[in-house]
Amino acid sequence: MISIQNISKKYGAQQVLNKVNLEFSGGQSIALIGPNGSGKTTLIKSILGLVLADQGQINVQNQDISLGPDYRKIIGYMPQLSKFPEQMKVGQLFSLIKKIRRDIAQNEYDLSLYNDFGIAKMEGKSLGALSGGMKQQVSAALAFLFRPKIIILDEPTAGLDPISNSILKHKVNEARAQNCLLITTSHILNDLEEMCNHVVYLMDGKIVLNEEMKFIAETTGEANLNKMVIKFLQTGKIAKCKI
Amino acid sequence: MQNISFSIAADLLKNKAIFIYGLLLAVLGWGMFLIESQPEKTILALLQITLIVVPLMTSIFATIYYYNSAEFIQLLLIQPLKRRSIIWGIFAGLSSGFVLSFLVGIGLPLLLFYPTTASLHLILSGTFLSVIFTGLALLVSTHQQDKARSIGFVLLLWIFFTFIFDGILLWAMYQLADYPIEQSILFGTFLNPVSVARTLVVMQTEAAALLGLSGAIFKDFFGSLKGSFIAMLILIIWGILPYLFVKRKFLTRDF
Amino acid sequence: MLIRTAFFIISFCVHFSLGANTILVGKTLSVKSISHALTLAKDGDTILVRKGTYCEKTLMIKQSITLFTKESAKIDAQGVANDILVIFADNVRIKGFQFVNVGVSFLKEAAAIRLVHCKNVIVENNKIDSCFFGIYIEQAKNSIISDNQIRGAFKDEASAGNAIHAWKGDALSICNNFITGHRDGIYFEFVNNSFIENNKSQYNLRYGLHFMFSNDDGYENNIFQDNGAGVAVMFSRNIIMRNNWFIHNWGGASYGLLLKEISDGSIDKNHFIENTIGIMAEGANRLTISNNKFMLNGTAMDIKGNCLDNKIIQNDFVANTFEVVTNSKQNNNFFDENYWSNYSGYDLNRDSFGDIAYRPVNLFAKITNEVPSATFLLHSPFVRLMEIGEKIFPQFIPQSLMDKRPKIKPYAYD
């Protein structure tokens, strides 16, 4: 579904992405992890077209993304620390985005998160007045609204209460079951192990780990993703990984 | 995709700052006509407002808006929208908001209380200046990450175009008084949209004085429709040019 | 005026009572040309010309006759640069003709009608078209030029003649004429005690009206519009100028009224509208300029430093770009009780005059005087800024040029 070929990006002197190659396909739920500043967000933004890579090519469903914005029709994105225009009302936000996405008919909307999070009750509130968690709920509901085939979640669970957290996880797993591709970044690895089946570890703009979760668990003998990764990296398995 | 630009523009028009700006202009525009009984004097006062207040407010508001709507822009960018429709929506939305405020605040009282060709030219000037300074503000904002710096830079541009430029021109006229410099002055003025907008109106209100100038080029320029026509053409160029650079930057930058 | 006209009427009655003849001229009559009629006419006779076009060589009138037509007979000079009619005699009256096609010559100032050394002549109700000079007056006295229409179609000043040209005259009356397209509309040189009234002079290449070395004259109720350089009064004394309209005289060296080396006259109740310069005064002394209205001029009044003791009082200055301009730091003229629309003072004691004095000369006016192309910066915010500075710390403008009692409302509104 997504093919990332030889992507590099520099901010000034800092090499944020260094010849990254990745192939993702439907039914995968990717845990995109790595230390701060490792290039996770840049990679996501490159897929979304927010950041234009210096080198390389990204294909989404065999379509070069630099050719036009239409590929984003099948992508849902939930940004890190959802920021919205402050004075805009929640209802206005939804109607604006719906107006932009005329390609999806009204009866095709996926309203499950919208309903589960009770966003209808927030409609009259302005986005600036919402708490961080509520903004995340709005953001998540928007990301799934148009039934995307690819869903990118940047730190989705930060700020969500436990109930909302489990609603979202459930939704992610449901989507994966429907053969969607999910890419999730988070520092809370516990959350990821419940929703992901594949791990990509980025460090200094390079991929140091790109394996099925099951495989890592088997080789390390750990059940906890946190420990898995640490052990995997410490035991020098890096060398064996496809880079 | 034109619908999208329109949606963005429509959303922008709801902005409170634009409303406040319109209110300010309305107080000045309608107030002037209500307290001053001689419309010939009022139009000159409104000319000053148009030359000083419109560029200042437009560029400051546009800059602040651009930075404050960073999230909104990002939200739009992740939709299946072309970047060019987004930046066009922002430019068109901001410009039309400022133009609308100007038309209601200054244009309407002018048409009601003093419907002359001079008023019409003043309305045109204000409209052009609104668009031009929106473009200049976006030009600075898209090339500069820091909001405070951008505001500072936009203020400098404003001071340069409204005050310093004419000061330099006057200084040059004194230095070169013995040479035939009329033509160069005329061309020099084209480099400043505020001067061109001013000239467009002054050609109507003070033609008697302008025709006192001895240079044949002035007579040719001010004595006919050609002058207004050229002035408007230059204002149109000034409206388009900054936007082209804004677009170029917006299409290639990272968010 | 009235007395003079009455005098003419009486004198004509006297002629008729003496058994004067009327000679008829017509294409089908026995007298077929005016020149023939003139050989037959005696003092007091009347020559009545019937309809038709008469191609005459110069007609010399040496008797006191009335030459008139009721059917606007046309006298055509066919482009030859000779006068059509030359009046040498007193008490001649010319009425109702059309004069056309007097040719241009650089050797000879040929005119449709020439008055030479005569008095009590009346030239009225004639139409003069495409003639080098219209009516040329040499050393005439007590004569009336009225109700004529004089139209030229000249393109450049050097080869154009004046419509009514008077050189040495006394007690002339020029009234109700319509004049257009000549060099000067009316030109007076060494003409005294004369009066110009109710004329309209427009689109002339140089001046609508031009005085040179003429004293004790007056002009009233005339309209001077769109002339090359307005009206000029030069090297003259005691000219009374009242109730005239100076409109839309635009251009580089164009004025409503140019005063040059003149003294002791008055300029009263005139309108100066949309002129590049309303009044331009050089070496004008002891004039009273009062009750005029200056409106929408580039400069209302340009008063040079060599003007002394003029009184500028109770005028309305409305919406002029510059109100007063001068090239001097001194001021020797008296401004009082004028209305200045750029004045923004207040009137707390309610005497209808502003409580603080007004200085009508501003810094920018001075700048444009030194660097004319600076006019281009009119209404620039930068200029506004400089003017505010000059008001706070006066440096350049003449401090004594002020109106101590600026009127709050225009006189026109009272």
Question: What is the band of C8 on the pLDDT scale with cuts at 50, 70, 90?
Answer: low
Q: Which of C410, C405, C327 is nearest to C365 (CA)?
A: C327
B6 to chain A, closest Cα gap in Å: 10
- The tokens of C382 are what? 């930068």
Interface mutation target, options B3, B71, B76, chain A, most CBs of A under 10 Å? B71
Interface mutation target, options C368, C376, C390, C396, chain B, most CBs of B under 10 Å? C376
Q: Is the pLDDT of residue B178 over 90?
A: no
Hey, are the CB atoms on C375 and B212 less than 8 Å from each other?
A: yes
Q: Would you call A14 exposed, middle or buried from its count of C-beta atoms within 10 A (0-12, 13-18, 19+)?
A: exposed
Q: Which residues of B touch A45 (CB under 8 A)?
A: 254-255
The dihedral through the CA atoms of A185, A188, A189, A191 has a sign that is negative
Helical (H) or strand (E) element with C83: none
More confident residue, C325 or C400: C325
pLDDT digits (tens, 9 = 90+) for C57-74: 888 999 999 999 998 889
Hey, are the CB atoms on B210 and C341 less than 8 Å from each other?
A: no
pLDDT digits (tens, 9 = 90+) for C181-211: 999 999 999 999 999 999 999 999 999 999 9
Mean pLDDT for chain C? Answer: 88
Give CA–CA dist B82/B251, Å, rounded: 9
B144 to chain C, closest Cα gap in Å: 29
The single-letter DSSP state of residue C104 is P
pLDDT score, position A243: 37
| B195 reaches C (C-beta below 8 A) | yes
Compute CA B219 distance to the chain's CA centroid, rounded to the nearest angstrom: 26
The single-letter DSSP state of residue C203 is S
The answer to whether B182 touches B218, Cβ cutoff 8 Å, is yes
Give CA–CA dist C110/C104, Å, rounded: 7
CATH topology for the C51-413 domain: Pectate Lyase C-like (2.160.20)
pLDDT score, position B75: 83
Give CA–CA dist C219/C245, Å, rounded: 11
| A12 reaches B (C-beta below 8 A) | no
Nearest to B78 among A48, A85, A86 (CB): A48
The answer to whether C402 touches C282, Cβ cutoff 8 Å, is no
The answer to whether C343 touches C320, Cβ cutoff 8 Å, is no
Q: Which of A183, A218, A221 is nearest to A34 (CA)?
A: A183
| CB crowding B160-182: b at 16 or more within 10 Å, else e | ebbbebbbebbeebeeeeeeebb
Q: Kindly state the average pLDDT of the residues B64-77.
A: 85
Interface mutation target, options B53, B116, B202, chain C, most CBs of C under 10 Å? B202
Q: Kindly state the average pLDDT of the residues B109-115.
A: 91
**Parallel/antiparallel/unpaired status of strands C164-170 and C186-192:** parallel
C251 to chain B, closest Cα gap in Å: 5
More confident residue, C260 or C13: C260
Hey, are the CB atoms on A85 and B80 less than 8 Å from each other?
A: no
Compute CA C240 distance to the chain's CA centroid, rounded to the nearest angstrom: 12
- Which positions 98-137 of A are in contact with B (Cβ < 8 Å)? 99-103
- The tokens of B251 are what? 């299409």
C245 to chain B, closest Cα gap in Å: 16
The answer to whether B29 touches B53, Cβ cutoff 8 Å, is no
Contact partners, residue B146, CB within 8 Å, separation at least 6: none
Q: Kindly state the average pLDDT of the residues B77-95.
A: 88
Strand partners, C191: C169
Q: Which of C253, C231, C140, C237 is nearest to C186 (CA)?
A: C231
Q: Would you call B188 exposed, middle or buried from its count of C-beta atoms within 10 A (0-12, 13-18, 19+)?
A: middle
Give SS3 for A33.
strand
C31 to chain B, closest Cα gap in Å: 56
Give CA–CA dist C211/B79, Å, rounded: 82
Supply the ipTM of this predicted assembly.
Answer: 0.84
Q: Which residues of C touch B206 (CB under 8 A)?
A: 298, 321, 378-379
Give CA–CA dist C41/C59, Å, rounded: 13
C414 to chain B, closest Cα gap in Å: 15
Q: SS3 sequence, C266-331?
A: EEECCEEECCCEEEEEEEEECCEEECCEEECCCEEEEECCCCECCEEECCEEECCCEEEECCCCCC
**Parallel/antiparallel/unpaired status of strands A198-203 and A206-212:** antiparallel
Compute CA C226 distance to the chain's CA centroid, rounded to the nearest angstrom: 12
Strand partners, C200: C178, C223
Strand partners, C353: C407
| B208 reaches C (C-beta below 8 A) | yes
CB neighbourhood size of B183 (10 A) = 13
Tell me the average confidence (pLDDT) per consecutive run of 10 residues in chain A, 243 residues long.
88 86 87 85 89 88 86 86 76 85 83 87 86 88 89 85 89 88 85 85 85 82 78 62 41
**Cα-based distances in Å from B55 to A15, B156, B181, B197:** 41, 12, 29, 11
The single-letter DSSP state of residue A42 is H
Give CA–CA dist C382/B61, Å, rounded: 23
Q: How many CA atoms lie within 13 A of B188 on its CB side?
A: 18
Identify residue C52 by its one-letter amino acid code: G
Range in A11-20, A165-174, C4-13, C35-44 with the lowest mean pLDDT: C4-13
Hey, are the CB atoms on A52 and B255 less than 8 Å from each other?
A: no
Strand partners, A77: A152
Nearest to B78 among A50, A83, A99 (CB): A50
Q: Which residues of A touch B254 (CB under 8 A)?
A: 45, 50-52
Residue of B nearest to C378 (CA): B202
The angle subtended at Cα B230 by Cα B227 and Cα B231, nearest 5°, is 80
Backbone angles phi, psi at B29, to 5 degrees: -65, -55
Chain B residues whose C-beta sits inside 8 Å of any chain A C-beta? 3-4, 7, 11, 15-16, 68-72, 74-83, 252-255
Give CA–CA dist A117/A142, Å, rounded: 12
Q: SS3 sequence, chain B?
A: CHHHHHHHHHHHHCCHHHHHHHHHHHHHHHHHHHHCCCHHHHHHHHHHHHHHHHHHHHHHHHHHHHHHCHHHHHHHHCCCCCHHHHHHHHHHHHHHHHHHHHHHHHHHHHHHHCCCHHHHHHHHHHHHHHHHHHHHHHHHHHHCCCHHHHHHHHHHHHHHHHHHHHHHHHHHHHHCCCCCCHHHHHHHHHCCHHHHHHHHHHHHHCHHHHCCCCCHHHHHHHCCHHHHHHHHHHHHHHHHHHHHHHHHHHHHCCC
Q: Is the pLDDT of residue B215 over 70?
A: no
The answer to whether B25 touches B105, Cβ cutoff 8 Å, is yes
- Which positions 163-182 of B are in contact with C (Cβ < 8 Å)? 163-167, 169-170, 173-174, 177, 181-182
Q: Is the pLDDT of residue B251 over 70?
A: yes
Identify residue B120 by its one-letter amino acid code: L
Quick one: what percent of chain B has pLDDT higher than 90? Answer: 43
Q: SS3 sequence, A60-124?
A: ECCEEHHHCHHHHHHEEEECCCCCCCCCCEHHHHHHHHHHHCCCCCHHHCCCHHHHHCCHHHHCC
Hey, are the CB atoms on A72 and B83 less than 8 Å from each other?
A: no
Hey, are the CB atoms on B212 and C379 less than 8 Å from each other?
A: no
pLDDT score, position B1: 47
Strand partners, B2: none
Q: Kindly state the average pLDDT of the residues B167-183.
A: 84
Quick one: what percent of chain C has pLDDT higher than 90? Answer: 52
Which domains can be identified in chain A, with CATH numbers? 2-84+149-240 (3.40.50.300)
- The tokens of C310 are what? 């003029």
Residue that the structure tokens 């076009």 belong to: C53
Give CA–CA dist C97/A234, Å, rounded: 124
More confident residue, C262 or C360: C262
CB neighbourhood size of A10 (10 A) = 14
C188 to chain B, closest Cα gap in Å: 27
Give CA–CA dist A207/C387, Å, rounded: 69
**Domain coordinates in residue numbering, chain C:** 51-413
Give CA–CA dist C304/C292, Å, rounded: 19
Residue of A nearest to B74 (CA): A50
pLDDT score, position C6: 56
Q: Kindly state the average pLDDT of the residues C12-40.
A: 77
- The tokens of A199 are what? 């791990």
Give CA–CA dist B63/B91, Å, rounded: 11
The answer to whether C118 touches C137, Cβ cutoff 8 Å, is no
Q: Is the pLDDT of residue C29 over 90?
A: no
Helices B83-102 & B2-13 angle (0-180, nearest 10) = 40
**Domain coordinates in residue numbering, chain B:** 2-252
The answer to whether B146 touches B154, Cβ cutoff 8 Å, is no
pLDDT score, position A242: 40
More confident residue, C126 or B218: C126
